[in-house]
Amino acid sequence: MSNRDWNRVIAHVDLDAFYAQCEVHLHPHLKGKPLGVSQYNPYESGGVTSVRSDQDRLLNDSNGSLIAVSYEARAYGVKRNMRGVDAKAACPELQIVQVPTAHGKADLTYYRSAGKKVMEVLSEGVVCERASIDECYLDCTVLAHSLLQKHGGVPPVPPAEQMTYVHVTGAAVGTAEWWQRPVEEWDPSEAALAAGATIVAGARPRG
């Protein structure tokens, strides 16, 4: 079978709570705390103040709309697009960091740079097409089929089962049970897709 006959394997990767993760990386004291990243105030008196990413941007009295929410904050019911006041009502301990600003608008330079570094890791061995600051498409076709050939046509179980969820129409099965079927029970396209899932799951610890 030539490469041209292979089933294509394309993965969509969306970095969850990415801006919040970036802020924790910049400000380690926020690690483990409920955190929200808010939009800047376009109606700021005297114009929008420029604030660099490395400066203190903690504004716990902000009523801006939240554009990213950490997992710790989600546990309290805080969601994206909540206003700061509503989010603080749901989680009084919430730390609100405003996005960096420059030239009267949000400055996403740091987030773009961090996203680029993650994409460089994810693109190892595959073709990566960046879709936005925190998401991309990975063409895993060659690597997925190489993995299948190496394992006798059966995709290997992902490195950590909890990273992968199996949704099978009309059935409820566990990840390991679904993956560890005899080779004759695998449809070629299904096997290729599963191999792609294993590749993406393996990239998560590196990212």
By annotation, the residues acting in catalysis are: 135
CA distances in angstroms from 56 to 151, 171, 177, listed in the order given: 51, 51, 49
CA distance 115 to 155: 29
CA 137 to chain centre: 12
112 CB contacts (<8 Å, ≥6 apart)? 133
**CA neighbor of 171 nearest in space, from 161, 181, 163:** 181
Longest pairwise C-alpha distance within the chain:
70
CA distances in angstroms from 45 to 28, 64, 84, 104, 105, listed in the order given: 31, 15, 19, 12, 14
DSSP helix/strand/coil, 180: coil
153 CB contacts (<8 Å, ≥6 apart)? 183, 186, 191
